[in-house]
Amino acid sequence: MKSLVILLIVFTSISTKAQLKIYGGKNHDQFLGCMSCDTEDSNSIWSSYSDYGSMHNANSIWNPDGKYGSKTSDFSPFNKRAKYPPVILDRSGKSHGYITINEKFPNRAPKGGMADNICKWRDDIIEDIPGYYNRLYRPKN
């Protein structure tokens, strides 16, 4: 019985983990992937096998030539002067701030969090996107 209770608690904590999703565009209506999902998730920005973890997909923040990943686009988190950086939303639609390298942008995601790390370490991350996630965010056994 005790094992069943522990298993239920673990399952509940895993299934209720906040999924933080990134939305871009002028009206923030373009899904750009799940920021808090691990490398196995098909919507994860950390999976090089997903559209959102690819450096070549138009809707990936990792595409250096794309609308959402370039250092010059008004819609990219990596442009200090972007007018419309992506927003981070949870399942209920609550905003967790904007993902932007511009530290003075109103309602920017908190310093020290995953969004901040993405902005600071982008050039290193794109060298090994899933590896970066695994080193920093995958739970250690």
Longest CA span, the chain: 58
Type of residue numbered 87? V
Give tens-digit pLDDT for 59-71. 999 999 999 999 9
Res. 138: pLDDT tops 70:
yes
At 19-62, the pLDDT tens digits run: 999 999 999 999 999 999 999 999 999 999 999 999 999 999 99
The rounded distance, in Å, linking the Cα atoms of 28 and 72 is 18
Helical packing angle, 129-136 and 114-125, nearest 10°:
140
Contacts for 11-15: CB closer than 8 Å, 24+ residues apart? none
Asked if residue 4 has pLDDT above 50, the reply is: no
- The pTM assigned to this predicted structure is 0.85
Run of H or E including 112: none
